[in-house]
Chains A and B, each alone.
Chain A
Amino acid sequence: MTRGGTTHCLRGFVALIIFVAGLALPFSQLHADTENKTAELTALSLHPEWLALLHYEVSATGQIRKSYAQTNSYFLAKTGNRDPAAELKATLEAFSTTTALPNQHALCRFPGRRRWIEANSTYSYADVPCPEFNAWAALDTIDSVSMVFATGHFASPASFFGHNFLKINKANSADYLIDTAINFGALIPPNENPITYLATGIFGGYEAEFSAEPFYRFLAKYGEKDLRDVWEYKLALSDDQRNLLISHLWELRDVQFPYYFFRENCAYHISALLNLVVDQTFVPRFMPWAMPVTVFDSMMSTEINGNPLVADIELHRSRRTLFQNRYAASSVSLKKIIHQYSLGQVDLQDSLVFQNLSEDDKIWIIDTLLDYSAFMSKEKDGQVHKDNQQKLLLARLHLKQGAVNQPDADKSRPPHLGQRPSYTSIGVSQFEGGNATGFLRIRPAYYDFLSLEFGRKPHASFTLFDTQINFTESVSVASFDLVSLSNLNTQFSNIAIDKASSWQFRIGNQPVSDKCDDCNRWIFQWDLGKSRKFGQHLAGFALAGIAITESRNQTGNGALQAHIGLTGRLSANWQLYSRVSYSETFNRHQPFHTSYELENRFGNSRWWDIRIKMTKRDLLNTTVSAAIYW
């Protein structure tokens, strides 16, 4: 009995153990599953692509801060804008609900999140009806995505550095004009005054949104109105990557972001969209600015799926470039007619020379002059050009249909081949009879007359915060140009467009004289004039204007001044900028002076150059420097 009782008891004990174990096993399994799920969620919530989907700011040291997105409805968790794990949890919960109406379900609101979660986890969801998203995205009609760069423009400070946006390309490339462009821009109130605009743009206060618009609107604005070339860089994304990106764009409707001119701008936020598909930062992490051109530079050195990120580059020419190319490709005799026409010396209908041309040559002339009239109609005497345009269109209608092909004279090169935007040089400077002085020059942005002329205006200069520090017995700021803008407006030879004005504008701090130390003063300079091309690469200019200055050492508060000069490329490896200036000051102690400048750049690399510069006002100064561009 005892034994048997023991046996029974043991049996009962074993049964109990089995029973408990049987109960415990699922709990343990459940616990393990829960742990796995938690680990999976934690990993997912910290994944760079999830952070990119939520537009989280990640510091240069990798610290996760908070989302740039300021719209509450963009987050499903109350703390979603600063807690990516909470937002992931809330997203998964919302995706699991079955109560929402078509288009209203979280799966419809966040199709990008859905794609990413399903691709990167064990979660999957049944289809829900999202007709609005499906119609907008039309994913099966999309072939590719491009990053687009509109070159810089001097009409507005917001355009100085150029602009970038995305373009969603349909499979039928013939319809590219109605492809969708995705823009990022500040919401500027109508009639904003310039002071508020400037202060708010720099220091913050504007909100910005992503928007979707037909590509032709951008071509009309940039290519036709502003005469800016538009470069399209087609990206080699896989189908899944492209669909994820487009699905995410839908999520960004009406989501607002803070906007700053210098950093959190189009270059920053548009390029950040690519972080959904490639782990790469396209703007400098440690710099307080983001320039569109650097995005393209970075893209060219990035790989995706084992291939270069950029699959193809295409130029959408501005009116100016269209005309320039046609003119350059014209024969000497046709150029002569265009020249005479531009000067108003010939009416095509009355010109025997024109009437005796072949039909193809007539077509070529008229098509060229249509480009010419189109952008000249925006200049002074626009009505004259509109009248001419009317006659040209009528004449063209009477000729055979179709374009006439001529050799391609386009020498445009994409912006990523241009000079890197930031400049640092070291060098030695010596005044005649003086000691050599070492110096460091730093110019964060953007280009000067001697920079490579790709992706920017030729014979122009735009620099910001150009600072030279001299090292003598002490360290001193030798000169500081806050901003300097020069636009010679020379694009053509022998064409009336050369009548366009040249101008320059500068605010800087420089020494009063070559003969003094610690005698810097502020100067505000504004000049207007004309320029003319000499050959293909050289431009001469004559400018006159006024300088308002801070008075130091009885130097007076300003001067009238005149400048003549020559700038351009003498060979592939040698560019120069030369100038002679005469100043008549508002001061009887130093009534006038003449100064000279000759600067040579050697080398045609986008990464470095060697410069030799000679200047003379009171004393001849010779400078030799070596620079890197970054």
Chain B
Amino acid sequence: MKIKSITAVSTLALFLMINTIGTASAENRDFKTALEECFWGLILTDESQRGLSLGLNVVSGALGSYAYTSATMSPDTFCATKTATTAKFVSETYPRLVEDVSRGEGEFLRTAMQLTGCDSVAAQNQVSNDIRHGLANDLTHTQYSSMQDAEKALRLFTNLSMSAQSNCTA
């Protein structure tokens, strides 16, 4: 078997493999405004736009991912606000978070509380009860299962924010 033959067929084969197994799903980063960037997922109705491609190691664009990893880095940046940070968390972890809400405990629920500034146990219990109540209402809504995750997350985020505003001092 000749080396040239192996090389040529190898290249062709790898090409075929890529085509067969899957294409490179690059992260869609063409969000036009900082608002969209911050509320990434929550205001997008197209579920496919939310597909990250961390497996391909795509990094963040416009605002720079370094900016939103720390809420304190750029105090004047809208994306660094507590609201935006919480919104992103709810949006991206919704499947796990909603289960924690239904159980009334869990690390995702605890983190969501922390992000909203709810530190005291009493306030957390009240917020937990409020969002459980809100979730029960949503679940009895017949369209719930056909909603996109982004819409479900928005409802949960709204309930969480409103309750936190009323019950948490931070």
Interface residues of A (CB under 8 A from B): 132, 135-136, 138, 150, 153-159, 163, 174-178, 180, 183-195, 197-198, 202, 208-214, 216-222, 224, 226, 250, 253-254, 266, 367, 370, 374, 383, 386-387, 389-390, 393-394, 396-397, 401-403, 476-477, 480, 482-483, 485, 505, 507, 509, 520, 522, 524, 526
Contacts and interface: CB of A to CB of B under 8 A. Distances in A.
Given A136-B73, A183-B54, A190-B26, A212 B65 contact: yes
Nearest to A370: B99
B155 interface: no
A477 B1 CA distance: 7
Contacts of B20: 505, 526
A187 B58 contact: yes
A390 B136 CA distance: 10
Given A136-B70, A180-B69, A393-B102, 18 more contacts: A135-B70, A136-B73, A163-B57, A174-B110, A177-B111, A190-B30, A210-B59, A212-B69, A221-B52, A367-B103, A370-B102, A374-B99, A394-B139, A403-B103, A482-B14, A509-B6, A509-B9, A524-B16
A507 B88 CA distance: 43
Contact of A390 (B18, B26, B57, B139): B139
Given A253-B66, A483-B17, A522-B9, A185 B103 contact: no
A401 B105 contact: yes
Contacts of B65: 211-213
A544 B132 CA distance: 49
A183 B13 CA distance: 30
Interface string B77-98: 0000000000011001101101
Contacts of B58: 185-188
B60 A213 contact: yes
Contact of A397 (B9, B26, B88, B136): B136
A103 to B, nearest CB: 11
Given A187-B58, A483-B17, A214 B102 contact: no
Given A174-B110, A402-B104, A198 B54 contact: no
Contact of A214 (B52, B53, B59, B69): B69
User: Which of B15, B92, B110 is most buried by chain A, counting CB atoms within 10 A of its CB?
Assistant: B92
User: Which of B68, B70, B104 is most buried by chain A, counting CB atoms within 10 A of its CB?
Assistant: B70
A516 B73 CA distance: 70
A477 B2 CA distance: 10
A156 B140 contact: no
A224 B57 contact: no
Given A177-B107, A198-B14, A403-B105, A188 B56 contact: yes
A220 B97 CA distance: 11
Contacts of A136: 66, 69-70, 72-73
B160 to A, nearest CB: 15
B21 A156 contact: yes
Nearest to A259: B57
A488 B69 CA distance: 39
B55 A153 contact: yes
5 contacts: A174-B110, A202-B14, A213-B65, A216-B89, A477-B1
Contacts of A202: 14
A193 B26 CA distance: 10
Contacts of B115: 178
A374 B65 CA distance: 28
A435 to B, nearest CB: 22
Contacts of B24: 156, 158, 188, 192, 194, 197
B23 A197 contact: yes
Contacts of B111: 174-175, 177-178, 216
A198 B27 CA distance: 17
Contacts of A191: 26
Interface of B: 1, 6, 9-10, 13-30, 52-60, 64-66, 68-70, 72-74, 88-89, 92-93, 95-96, 98-99, 102-108, 110-111, 114-115, 132, 135-136, 139-140, 144-146
B72 A138 contact: yes
A579 to B, nearest CB: 22
Contacts of A250: 66
A130 to B, nearest CB: 12
A216 B88 CA distance: 10
Contact of A218 (B54, B59, B73): B54
B135 to A, nearest CB: 7
Q: Which 5 A-B pairs have the closest CB atoms?
A: A185-B57, A401-B104, A211-B59, A507-B13, A159-B55
Q: Is the interface of A mostly helix, strand, loop or mixed?
A: mixed
A483 B13 contact: yes
User: Which of A153, A177, A208 is most buried by chain B, counting CB atoms within 10 A of its CB?
Assistant: A177
A616 B61 CA distance: 56
Contacts of B55: 150, 153, 155-156, 158-159, 163, 221-222, 226
Nearest to A526: B20
B102 A396 contact: yes
A506 B125 CA distance: 56
A2 B132 CA distance: 115
Contacts of A526: 20
Contact of B145 (A216, A219, A386): A386
Contacts of B28: 190
A621 to B, nearest CB: 20
Contacts of A390: 139, 144-145
B57 A135 contact: no
A394 B140 contact: yes
A383 B143 CA distance: 12
A524 B22 contact: no
A485 B58 CA distance: 25
Nearest to B51: A225
A507 B64 CA distance: 41
B170 to A, nearest CB: 14
A187 B59 contact: yes
A606 to B, nearest CB: 26
A155 B23 CA distance: 9
B57 A198 contact: no
Given A188-B56, A370-B99, A178 B89 contact: yes
Contacts of A396: 99, 102-103
Contacts of A393: 98-99, 102, 135, 139
B18 A157 contact: yes
B21 A509 contact: no
Contacts of B144: 390
Contacts of B9: 482, 507, 509, 522
A158 B56 contact: yes
A154 B21 contact: yes
B73 A505 contact: no
B72 A135 contact: yes
B53 to A, nearest CB: 7
